[in-house]
Structure 1
Amino acid sequence: MRAIECVRKATIRDIPALKQLFRETVLSVNRQDYTAEEVADWASCGENDERWEKIVYFYYTLMVEDEDGHVLGFAALSANGYLNSMFVHKDFQGQGIASTLYGFMERRARALKVSAITADVSLTAYPFFRKLGFVVEKEQSYPANRLFLKNYKMVKYLEYDEE
């Protein structure tokens, strides 16, 4: 188990590490719920550098590192509350990294006063999001590159104290 050393904003220089974490996680962790062909197609979406540049520049993108500077996970949230990404390194699942990232994302969403956080959630991540209080809006077929993968459009409505 690695200790979380820091949570910080991702930069353009972090893209190679984010791409690698994404690819390795999809190919191994998501294999429990998707076929080899599906995870290969999904992982290939991470080869698009322009996609990563948009995530780093236009989303609130945080990454978690350990004391040695290894990336343990990352998440990206839009200004309107769409959780574009949340991935944890394949070797560090179940160690609180996703919960830590989600905490930062929800605080950011609240600071922006969005009414809800939405996400397109894989079959693999579904139990985690349910525990956080997300509900399914609909089951969907989501496009990867060549294939459409089953996932869920989920939402968590944020409540605010009246002032």
Structure 2
Amino acid sequence: MSIRQGNPEDLPTILTLFKDTITFVCKKDYNTNQIEAWKSGADNLERWKKVMKEQLVLVAEIDHKIVGFCTLDQKNYIDLLFVHKDHQNLGIASILYNLIEKEALEQKNLPLTADVSKTAKPFFERMGFHVLSEQTVNVKGVDLINYKMQKDLLT
């Protein structure tokens, strides 16, 4: 596996990975309407172009195929962390996360924060995050529960 910085040409693959991961991995925590509403975020191409341009985007590749990605916004907010449905539980998310955390530490922009799905909450807890609050986010008229989480990094 290799890790590299993402580029605009990766966007179609990243969007497919985003939708597939939500569809297949998050279905144990969210119902069909919630999944469809959440996936609709992939339709906002302007937002995704902004992510690719303004955030630190790391992608994980196996055999030149993107199998995961993680983004860091404003040097201390993990905006996105997704791993391909066929590559779950292989340590890919941990590797991506550790690189993002290292970048945040170098920038001294602490603490790290993230808005985390029910599905991702156990992973973030293992990485040392704690829940600040449970949130209800309305997407296209559908309520989704997620968690505002934070990790206090030591310098």
TMscore range, shorter length: over 0.9
Contact residue 114 and residue 158 of structure 1 kept, 8 A? no
| Corresponding residue for residue 13 of structure 1 | 9
| Corresponding residue for residue 72 of structure 1 | 67
Q: 2:86 aligns with which of 66, 69, 91?
A: 91
> After the TM superposition, which residues 35-54 of structure 1 pair with which residues of structure 2 at under 5 Å, given as runs?
35-54=31-50
Range moving further from structure 2, 28-37 or 136-145: 136-145
1:54 to partner: Cα distance: 0.9
Aligned residue pairs: how many? Answer: 155
Say which SS state the counterpart of residue 159 (structure 1) adopts. Answer: coil
**Superimposed CA distance per residue, residues 86-124 of structure 1 (whole angstroms, 9 cap, x where no aligned partner):** 000011100000000001100010111012110000000
Residue 41 of structure 1 aligns with an amino acid whose one-letter code is A
> After the TM superposition, which residues 74-153 of structure 1 pair with which residues of structure 2 at under 5 Å, given as runs?
74-153=69-148
2 CA distance for matches of 1:33 and 1:127?
12
2 CA distance for matches of 1:12 and 1:32?
31
Identity level (%): 38
1:145 to partner: Cα distance: 3.2
Residue 122 of structure 1 aligns with an amino acid whose one-letter code is S
Say which SS state the counterpart of residue 158 (structure 1) adopts. Answer: coil
Contact residue 27 and residue 39 of structure 1 kept, 8 A? yes
2 CA distance for matches of 1:146 and 1:22?
21
1 CA distance for matches of 2:45 and 2:103?
25
Q: 1:25 aligns with which of 21, 26, 38?
A: 21
Matched, 1:158 2:147: no
Q: Root-mean-square deviation (CA), in Å?
A: 0.9
Q: TM (normalized to structure 2)? A: 0.97
Residue 132 of structure 1 aligns with an amino acid whose one-letter code is M
Structure 2 gaps, min length 5: none
